[in-house]
Structure 1
Amino acid sequence: MIAVEDLIRLVRAYNPRTDEALIRAAYDYGREMHKGQYRHSGEAYFSHPVAVAAVLAEQRLDDATIITALLHDTIEDTRASYSEIENRFGGEIADLVDGVTKLTNLQLSSTETQQAENFRKLFMAMSKDLRVILVKLADRLHNMRTIKAMRPEKQVRKARETMDIYAPLAGRMGMQWMREELEDLAFRVLNPDARASIIRRFITLQKEAGDVIDRITGDMRKELDKVGIEAEVLGRAKKPYSIWRKMQEKEMGFSRLSDIYGFRIVTGSENDCYAVLGAIHQRWRAVPGRFKDYISQPKSNGYRSIHTTVSGRDGKRVEVQIRTRQMHDVAETGVAAHWSYRDGVRSENPFAVDPAKWISSLTEQFDAEEDHDEFLEAVKLEMYADKVFCFTPKGDVVKLPRGATPIDFAYAIHTRIGNATVGAKVDGMRVPLWTRVKNGQSVEVITADGQTPQATWLDIATTGKAKAAIRRALRELDRDRYVRLGRELARSAFEHVGKRATDKALERAARTLRLADRDEVLARLGSAELTGQDVLGAVYPDVRPAEGEEVRRERAVIGLGPDQRFDRARCCQPLPGERIVGITWRGRGVVVHAIDCAALSTYEDQPERWLDLHWHSGLHPAVYDVSLDVTIGNDAGVLGRICTLIGERRANISNLTFLDRKPDFYRLIVDVQLRDAEHLHSVMSALDAESDVAEVNRHRDSSCDTGSAAFRK
């Protein structure tokens, strides 16, 4: 455990005016409160708060943040109270400790509805004082560094939560070093074999090619000396998880990856940054499409830097980031730069973003989201997104996540423009609406009076704002039809358990589900955003369909004619709980497709064959085949564990097909028999949490004969 004098010495190094007496008092108080408590490793528990304080001291943060770190678990885990901490250390520190305690109590990895609500609380806590989340991130970092002392199942849960929530949040705040370390620590738990494999290949590469970093760093210094620029050149190999993610995104092996090394050049001025860029491009060949100027177009968290990727004569690519010292400080600490010290005074860094404005811009769009799923989708898209910068015809800049389309661009300008979009031009050329826009492109949106959003736009749009606006518009357009259909579905669901779907019952459901009124409940039920069981459970939480009472397969689909039979399309394998449509086949009945099935485009010019169908809301038997594309580690017993996991979820495996066999991994198609979409989610979540499963996706075969193949099954 770090001694109090060592901690004070660490703080005094960047802040000679630190209140040593207050830090020492907090250290003594925290140690006394945690006396007799121990971590899973057997260490005294207080070693953890001290380590968290040391992490924050390395970021040169203010006294209040350091003291909060020392006390952050006292209210939750000891007899200490808010009032006592306020009396001893002041209101500011008491509020910070209380804020961290509330964050700790949020179960961020729970079900999506709860998770969305917890995200709202998280952003509310952040909006009061961003230092709360800085302490929480440092707390999570130290817990991940010492995670081996936890039980294996808790390690997996914590690692998944870190990968899904805390690492992206650190990145969104500009603390890239922390994001990379959190990701790599979680990767070590979730996929240890893949990480070890990448490290082994790194070692082999170094033996074969020598120390690439020292050689390239030396070459860069020589080029800068030639043009008389003083700069610090830093090189490093990218983290194993960063390399693994690139391998997955680009679908290529380690040996084909080129830019696995990164270099930073820290200069004295902004002019020197561009001079360094010229020198680098004169010496090495620039890779097209891999240049970003975040100095002229900064990120919203204050990040400024020039990014370029260059390749040498051997074809190896390296990424180079060029920035000034002040830009580098913000790049290292992100939003936390607002509280950092340099040479004994609060850092007056002109590039540090105002935390209040940053959190306000981040939460503004989320406040407009009217339901849990849309809010959660918007949060995750915003946190995970890498930005691209596009221009309107007038030259205004529009920030979008990578992969965005002209639909996203239109809604980013204004919802009215998005709803009226009929086409787009990119750099003066007419393009389809599903085109992915790139950095620096000029986008012109073409609109028309009377145009309304199309359902297919939901698959084209990327941003939470666009998706939410499209859903709202579609709900309004189809509201009357959905209300009528929803009333019929509600009647069926309630009668199934001997109840009546009265107006009073539906009003109660609206209050429980936090919706405006009963018509809103019916509209969402009719559009399949709610199920009959959701509405029934909101009114009668203790009422469930009788055990063993299942919907017979021939009655599973609502909307068929008296003599029509159906079968599921093999191309998309729709499940109860998913939105569906039917395509009629003369003499053979109806083939049921998922609403987003690509094969439906074949029948766009045959509207007379389309049927509007819905699944019965009751309990279905596990007889519906779904194919899963699973990549697993090539190790003894792994396949057996995967089969056991599926069996534990009461799903039967009907077939196994191996697609690819590699020394490290197997890729196979697993056909499982399931009840509904919720059953599928349960099976996939269990597989995804298994450390030996590298990837699991739903497999859809767009190449099959959508008509005859369905009836052959």
Structure 2
Amino acid sequence: MAALDSESPAPEPLANSVAPSGADSRYLISDLCVFLESYLPPEQISECYRAYLFGAEAHEGQKRKSGEPYIYHPLAVTRILAEMRMDHQCLIAALLHDVIEDTQIAKEQLAADFGEAVAELVDGVSKLTQIDFKTRAEAQAASLQKMLLAMTRDIRVILIKLADRLHNMRTLDSMSAEACRRISRETLEIFAPIANRLGINWVRVELEEHGFAHYWPWRRHVIQRAVQRTSGARLEMVSTVETALKRVLHQEDIQGSVEGRRKHLYGIYRKMKEKSRGFSELVDVFAFRVTVDRVDTCYRVLGLVHNLYKPVPGRFKDYIAIPKANGYQSLHTALVGPQGIQIEIQIRTEDMHRVAESGIAAHWMYKTGSQVPSSPTALAADWLQNLLEMQREAGNSVEFLEHVKVDLFPREVYVFTPKGCIISLKRGATIVDFAYAIHSDIGNSCVAARIDRRMAPLSTGLRSGQTVEIITAPGARPNPGWLNFVVTAKARVNIRGHLKKVKSREARAFGKRLLNAELSAFSINIDGVDPIRLATYLEDAHLRDLGELLDDIGLGNRLATLVARRLVGVEGDDAPSRAVSDGDAHSHRLSIRGTEGMVVHFARCCLPIPGDDITAVFSPGRGIVVHRTECRNLGSLETKGDKRLNVEWSEKPEGEFSTEIRVEVSNRRGVLAVVAGAIAEQGSNIENVQTTEKDGMITDLGFQLQVSGRAHLARIMRRLRLIQLVTRITRVTRS
């Protein structure tokens, strides 16, 4: 969020009635060198020229889709970066950014000729072309993951990639319609938000406009026509407001500039979509920027404009006192302007304006070197650290990319720690999101919280200005239910990462139990398996070690019966009979304790509880699902022994198990409370209640209860039968 509040799309000059054309000159190396003379010493310009000759030779004979020599593209990318006043290493890498990917030049050769830093930059931008992926989505995700991780080592990687994508979008017309849509979607979903996250507003706006034009051309055309129809009528209003603002500044002897702007087309479209409004319902399509010399002058101007036009309640935001996540600072206020048209005014200093437009690139353009906590460079470093954490916890590149997408669209709220530190969070964030934003360990051990000194549920959504205190406990662990309400990528990826580790441990232990239960038919256990046969099986199955095999068995991805036969060298009919006697069959059943965790699931159709006759079926990726033996949903699996598992309850099952009962009662006032009280007397927790009135006299009460087993359930039902208003009780099965 660089130049405007996330609710208010960034404006563009009124003179531009269409998106930036990006009509790109075919830059010559001589033009580039002349431009570089404005800020680089001669020896560094010579290095850039040498890199150009190297790249031109490497790309010799290659042409772009447009038919022009390929070297024009690296030159144009380098010119974009030169306009940001990037250092000579970054410019050299830009000139060579495609040689590893598209030519026979190796990274080692680049390092030898231009230095290790340049080689790392080029490698960071290059796609993964040496690996075969199952789908285009996997390939895209892996390449983007590689680039983002390279960016955490050197931020210049993403600046080169943004310049590369910007030039590609300027010249996208030469691509096929399908490619245009695919590239434009990726630009809108990934690269424009990254430019926004780094505060490089002008790059973000141009990427969005080109992406909008190619991904939704008709929608853009409709909005453009609507803007053109209203622009003529409102130009006079814009001129009136500009004149009034300049007059006020002059009267108060304030040195500053005023610029009236129209928000760019994609920003208008995004706001229409977010607020579900038509174009005619948007009231702040026009915005004005007032740029002054000092921070205190910004607040003086704010008072002047509020005196000039009536402010809209609730539409003032102070991003100077509380900068945005990318370092953007400005005062935003909405006013009712001439003719009752709502306008937006942004007030900032010259330094704030440079940061708003250039973001982290201002570090090179103006050599600010600012490392204060709110500077774009420091904030970018914090974001990159979060990316590294997400990479460690994400299961694969596709999941990592999804987390990054979530992280790239923050609509912020600002809350305080008890010590007064400001934490910026995505709008809709909860207490758990706040805990993880402070530190992963705080989130993992969070058990309760106070908002403004009052206890609040962990799922409570946060509002700007609140003070949140997190209460932790040493033995606490993330709850899977948190995934139902957290909204930030950092919280989601940490919770999932922890659950995966827990599930992996549970799967390994359960897999070992399953395999040993099957091997017991051959009078051995896993420790007694021939090591050579085990190694051969692992190699054939493309598994790293025994632990990975046990994981697969525990998660239901491999059947313990088939694995056991392979490990003992027995196939098909050579296996010993599993039905020699009732006692033998019983000895090979797997005991269900109720503490197996996330690898044993109890079917929702029949809700088995200890004491029921049970059987289990394998569910790939989940483990096993336990059913009551009479459950009709077992269907054809009853006859498929390789999909079924003989199980029984252990002698002392642990925990509570869900079941459902239906209680038919006479329709009297207070009967629900009487029945619920009787259930509570028997030590059962009611998870859910549903009432259905059959007629004026009878009501069905459906209870979902937690019980320890059939004996516990029987006690509850006997107690309910003693209630005079109860006419019938049945246990419910959904099968």
Choose from 424, 429, 433 the match for 1:408: 433
Question: Which sits farther off after the overlay, 154-163 or 116-125?
Answer: 116-125
Q: Which has the larger radius of gyration?
A: 2
- With over 3 angstroms needed to count, the CA separation of the structure-2 counterparts of 1:25 and 1:367, relative to structure 1, is closer
Pick from 441, 462, 478 the counterpart of residue 487 of structure 2: 462
Partner of 1:169: 194
The Cα of 1:391 is off from its aligned counterpart by: 0.4
Match in the other structure for 2:342: 317
Secondary structure, counterpart of 1:607 in structure 2: strand
Aligned to 2:225: 200
* C-alpha contact 2:658 2:704 (8 A) present in aligned 1: no
Aligned residues of 1:423 and 1:445 also touching (Cα < 8 A) = yes
Aligned to 2:285: 260
Distance 2:329 2:203 in 1: 18
How far residue 205 of structure 1 moved from its aligned partner, in angstroms, is 1.6
* Paired AA for residue 458 in structure 1: L
How many corresponding residue pairs?
560
Distance 2:368 2:174 in 1: 38
Equivalent residue runs for 1:309-388 within 5 Å:
309-312=334-337, 314-340=339-365, 346=367, 351=375, 353=377, 357-358=381-382, 361-369=385-393, 371-372=395-396, 375-388=400-413
2:303 — aligned with what?
278
TM-score w.r.t. length of structure 1: 0.66
SS of match in other structure, 1:160: helix
> 1:406 offset after TM fit, Å?
1.6
| Equivalent-residue separation in structure 2 for 1:608 and 1:131 (angstroms) | 58
Q: What CA distance in whole angstroms lies between the structure 2 residues aligned with 1:106 and 1:435? A: 44
> In the alignment, residue 606 of structure 1 is paired with which amino acid?
F
| C-alpha spacing 1:326/1:451, structure 2 compared with 1 (3 Å) | same
Q: CA deviation at 1:47?
A: 1.9
Q: 1:323 to 1:451 in 2, by over 3 A?
A: same
- The residue aligned with 1:3 is 28
Deviation for aligned residue 1:4 = 2.8
Letter in 2 for 1:245: R
Runs of 5+ unmatched residues, structure 1: 493-500, 541-552, 568-580, 588-599, 612-709
- Of 95, 98, 106, which residue of structure 2 is paired with 1:70? 95
Alignment of 1:17-96 (within 5 A): 19-78=44-103, 80=105, 82=107, 85=110, 89-96=114-121
- Structure 1: distance between partners of 2:316 and 2:475: 40
Please, which of 628, 634, 651 is the counterpart of residue 561 of structure 1? 628
2:478–2:495 CA contact under 8 A, matched in 1: yes
In the superposition, the TM-score normalised over structure 2's length comes to 0.64
Distance (Å, rounded) in 2 between the aligned partners of 1:45 and 1:515 = 51
Instruction: Give the counterpart letter for 2:151 in structure 1.
Output: M
Deviations 1:484-525 (A, max 9, x none): 887899999xxxxxxxx99969988998599975565566x3
Asked if the contact 1:510–1:516 (Cα under 8 Å) also holds between the matched residues in 2, the reply is: no
Aligned positions of 1:138-537 closer than 5 A = 138-210=163-235, 212-299=237-324, 301-312=326-337, 314-340=339-365, 346=367, 351=375, 353=377, 357-358=381-382, 361-369=385-393, 371-372=395-396, 375-414=400-439, 418=443, 424-427=449-452, 433-445=458-470, 453-471=478-496, 517=548, 521=552, 525=555
Query: Quick one: structure 1 residues 424 and 227, their matched pair in 2 at CA, closer, same or farther if it must change by over 3 Å?
Result: farther
* Alpha-carbon separation, structure 1, partners of 2:547 and 2:343: 54
Deviation at 1:149, TM superposition (A): 0.6
Distance 2:271 2:93 in 1: 38
CA distance in 1, matches of 2:253, 2:546: 66
Question: In 2, Cα distance between the equivalents of 1:130 and 1:376?
Answer: 18
Which of 146, 156, 164 is matched with 1:131 structurally? 156
What is the Cα deviation at residue 166 of structure 1?
A: 1.5
Quick check: 2:658–2:705 contact (8 Å CA) kept in 1?
A: no
Give the residue type in structure 1 aligned to 2:189.
Answer: D
- State the Cα distance separating 1:461 from its structure 2 match: 0.9
Relative to 1, partners in 2 of residues 1:491 and 1:515: Cα closer, same or farther, differing over 3 Å?
closer
1:618 aligns to what?
none
Secondary structure of residue in 2 paired with 1:456: helix
Q: How do residues 620-631 of structure 1 correspond to structure 2 at under 5 angstroms?
A: none
Query: Which residue of structure 2 aligns with residue 663 of structure 1?
Result: none
Aligned pairs for 1:572-587 (under 5 A) are none
Give the counterpart letter for 1:464 in structure 2: A
> Aligned with 2:429: secondary structure?
coil
- Say whether the 8 Å CA contact 1:326–1:349 is kept in structure 2: no
Mark the CA change 1:521 to 1:387 in structure 2 (over 3 Å): closer, same or farther: farther
One-letter amino acid matched to 1:607: Q
Q: Do the aligned residues in 2 keep the contact of 1:236 with 1:263 (CA within 8 Å)?
A: yes
Question: Are the counterparts in 2 of residues 174 and 334 from structure 1 also a CA contact under 8 Å?
Answer: yes
The one-letter code sitting in structure 1 at the alignment partner of 2:703 is Q
**Cα distance, 1:104 vs structure 2:** 8.4
Task: For residue 326 of structure 1, report the CA deviation from its aligned partner.
Answer: 2.2
Q: Percent identity?
A: 38
**Cα distance change on mapping 1:43 and 1:321 into 2, 3 Å:** same
Q: Which amino acid aligns with 1:100?
A: V
Distance 1:333 1:285 in 2: 32
Tell me the secondary structure at the aligned position of residue 393 of structure 2.
coil
The equivalent residue for 1:661 is none
- Equivalent residue of 1:319, what SS? strand
Q: CA–CA distance in 2 between the matches of 1:452 and 1:143?
A: 47
> Structure 1, residues 121-179: CA drift from partner, whole Å, max 9, x if none?
22331133222221111111111111111112222221222222222222222112212
Aligned counterparts of 2:129 and 2:155: Cα–Cα separation in 1: 15
- For residues 309 and 108 of structure 1, what CA distance do their matches in structure 2 show? 50
- Structure 1: distance between partners of 2:251 and 2:689: 63
Is the deviation greater in 280-289 or in 475-484? 475-484
For residues 436 and 228 of structure 1, do their structure 2 counterparts lie closer, same or farther at Cα, with a shift above 3 Å needed?
Answer: farther
Change (3 A) 1:181 1:209: same
The residue type equivalent to 2:86 in the other structure is L
How large is the Cα RMSD of the aligned pairs? Answer: 4.8
1:152/1:210 CA distance change after superposition, 3 Å: same
Native 8 Å contact 1:305 1:321 kept in 2: yes
| Alpha-carbon contact 1:389-1:400 (below 8 Å) kept | yes
The farther-off stretch of 478-487 and 434-443 is 478-487
Q: CA deviation at 1:448?
A: 7.7
Are the aligned partners of 1:265 and 1:321 in contact in 2 as well (CA < 8 Å)? yes
Q: Is the partner of 1:353 in helix, strand or coil?
A: helix
The alignment partner of 2:126 has SS state of helix
Aligned partner letter, 1:366: M
Alpha-carbon distance change, 511 to 173 in structure 1, aligned in 2, over 3 angstroms: farther
**Residue 693 (structure 2) pairs with residue 606 (structure 1):** no
- In 1, distance between residues paired with 2:395 and 2:541? 13
Shift of 1:404: 0.7
Q: What corresponds to 2:571 in structure 1?
A: none
Cα distance, 1:329 vs structure 2: 2.0
Q: Cα–Cα, structure 1 residues 419 and 95, in superposed 2: closer, same or farther, change >3 Å?
A: closer
**Structure 2 vs 1, CA of residues 45 and 489 (structure 1 numbering), >3 Å: closer, same or farther?**
farther
Shift of residue 244, structure 1, vs aligned partner: 1.8
Q: Residues 538 and 544 of structure 2 are in contact (CA less than 8 Å); yes or no, is this contact kept in structure 1?
A: no
Aligned partner of 2:645 in structure 1 is none
